[in-house]
């Protein structure tokens, strides 16, 4: 029995993963520790290494999702046989038919593999040595088949200055006139046709989580305008102080800190629903929504209320960089007790965010813009920001939600409270 290759658990909340891409081919020799496939899970991607040295056997296709622990392949040493007769897959099974001998010819192992991978008929392949079909025989057959076409197809291709190799695109069967016509239509309408792209594993995860939140959680959104003047002054002073450390505090860093202080004062917001139980979290771990190519991820700043502003700023930048590089792990995105979504930099004034997972609330942050406001009876131009709190009404009523939002406003308008 070989060494099993399974869907590995990469985070506390991970339940299933998707084979994003096999980095090795079925039958390849791999070394222990060598990356063999890309695993997509909970909006993150990582490479999974070979658990042992040997020949890799692949049992599932790319793009398939399976529960943690599912067998997706094996690594066999010389003389070892596979522990399964057919691939195991929850959603899709890929059973390879055995390659039979053709007209008494023998077939090498590499030739068999190539025939299976390209769905060829062994009866059409004749070995050069007249005895045994080798890999080079299969390759030669495929090269020849690429340009195999009916006379009419050849005439149409020649008349329209079309390369038969382009039309073939790796197919092994004979091309017909209809194939050339289809290629011409596809080429001419390439700029006009709609493009159909399957959902990525990340978008599937986002869709699943957002759908569950939207349809199963009764929510109310509360909005409040905040004067960002004092926060802006403090931010400028901090950035001057941190200049030697090459560190800049962002607007979002200030918001995260204010939220953490408010959660410490309003523990009934720092909760989640687990079945029929309300879980009051001891730690304050604020997640921040980060846009990445293809979707959205929510890395978590742990103990947000306890760390210094400098450390908070360093941590947010570290996590954002990991998100940008596609290197976030399940642990980076698990354990959040509250989420902040800030799209103010996109020019959005306010919006209604959707609650993340089992958390009780999420804060939406709009842009900072100068507005005329009344201050002590006089009109002044101040940098204003709209905060929108979406809360699960099963857990949080209107009054405590408003109180919590009011504390955030008070802390941001008197930011010295962040350090008390």
253 is catalytic: no
Instruction: Please report how many Cα atoms fall inside a 13 Å half-sphere around the Cα of residue 226, on the Cβ side.
Output: 32
Contacts within 8 Å (CB) and 24+ apart, 119-127:
119/172, 120/172
Distance CA 307, CA 322 (A): 20
Sequence-separated (6 or more) residues with CB below 8 Å from residue 167: 149, 153, 157, 175, 179, 180, 183
| Cβ burial, residue 264 (10 Å; 0-12/13-18/19+) | middle
Pairing, β 378-392 against β 16-22: unpaired
Coil vs helix vs strand at 320: helix
Residue 232: exposure state from Cβ atoms within 10 A (0-12, 13-18, ≥19): middle
Task: Spot the catalytic one: 124, 173, 311, 397.
Answer: 397
Catalytic entry in 28, 281, 393, 403: 393
User: Tokens 């103990």 label which residue?
Assistant: 303
- Catalytic residue flag (residue 285): no
Pairing of strands 16-22, 35-41: antiparallel
Two tokens, residue 278: 């309300």
In the block, tokens 């700043």 appear at 301
CA neighbor of 361 nearest in space, from 371, 373, 352: 352
Q: Please state whether beta strands 338-342 and 361-365 pair in parallel, antiparallel, or not at all (unpaired).
A: parallel
Query: How far apart (Å, rounded) are the C-alpha atoms in residues 239 and 247?
Result: 7
Tokens for 193?
């046709």
Q: Which residues contact 407 (CB under 8 A, 6 or more apart)?
A: 261, 262, 265, 266
Q: Which residues contact 327 (CB under 8 A, 6 or more apart)?
A: 46
Among the listed residues 38, 27, 23, the one whose alpha carbon sits nearest the alpha carbon of residue 326? 38
Q: Which residues contact 168 (CB under 8 A, 6 or more apart)?
A: 145, 146, 147, 175
- Catalytic residue numbers read 393, 397
């Amino acid at each position: 029995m070989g060494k099993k290759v399974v869907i590995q658990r990469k985070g506390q909340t991970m339940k299933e993963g998707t084979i994003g891409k096999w980095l090795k081919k079925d039958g390849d020799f791999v070394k222990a520790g060598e990356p063999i496939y890309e695993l997509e899970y909970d909006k993150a991607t990582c490479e999974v290494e070979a658990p042992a040295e040997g020949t890799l056997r692949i049992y599932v296709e790319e793009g398939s999702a399976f529960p943690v622990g599912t067998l997706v392949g094996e690594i066999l040493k010389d003389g070892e046989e596979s522990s399964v007769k057919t691939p195991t897959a929850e959603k899709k099974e890929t059973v390879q038919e055995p390659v039979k001998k053709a007209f008494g010819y023998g077939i090498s192992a590499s030739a068999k593999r190539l025939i299976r991978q390209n769905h060829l008929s062994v009866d059409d392949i004749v070995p050069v040595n007249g005895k045994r079909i080798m890999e080079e025989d299969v390759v030669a057959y495929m090269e020849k088949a690429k340009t195999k076409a009916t006379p009419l197809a050849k005439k149409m291709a020649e008349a329209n200055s079309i390369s038969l190799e382009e039309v073939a695109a790796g197919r092994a069967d004979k091309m017909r006139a209809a194939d050339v016509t289809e290629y011409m239509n596809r080429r001419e309408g390439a700029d006009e046709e709609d493009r159909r792209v399957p959902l990525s594993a990340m978008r599937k995860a986002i869709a699943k989580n957002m759908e569950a939140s939207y349809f199963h959680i009764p929510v109310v959104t509360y909005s409040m305008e905040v004067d960002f003047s004092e926060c802006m002054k403090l931010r400028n002073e901090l950035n001057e102080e941190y200049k030697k450390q090459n560190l800049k505090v962002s607007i979002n860093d200030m918001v995260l800190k204010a939220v953490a202080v408010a959660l410490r004062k309003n523990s009934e917001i720092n909760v989640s629903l687990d079945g029929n139980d309300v879980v009051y979290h001891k730690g304050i771990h604020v997640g921040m929504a980060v846009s990445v190519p293809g979707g959205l991820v929510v890395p978590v700043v742990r103990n947000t209320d306890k760390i210094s502003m400098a450390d908070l700023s360093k941590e947010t930048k570290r996590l954002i960089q990991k998100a940008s590089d596609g290197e976030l792990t399940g642990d980076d995105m698990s354990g959040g007790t509250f989420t902040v979504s800030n799209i103010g930099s996109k020019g959005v004034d306010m919006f209604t965010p959707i609650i993340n997972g089992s958390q009780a609330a999420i804060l939406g942050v709009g842009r900072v813009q100068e507005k005329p406001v009344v201050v002590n009876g006089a009109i002044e131009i101040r940098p204003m920001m709209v905060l929108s709190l979406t809360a699960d009404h099963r857990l949080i009523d209107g009054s405590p939600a408003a109180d919590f939002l009011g504390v955030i406003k008070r802390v941001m308008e008197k930011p010295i409270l962040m350090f008390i």
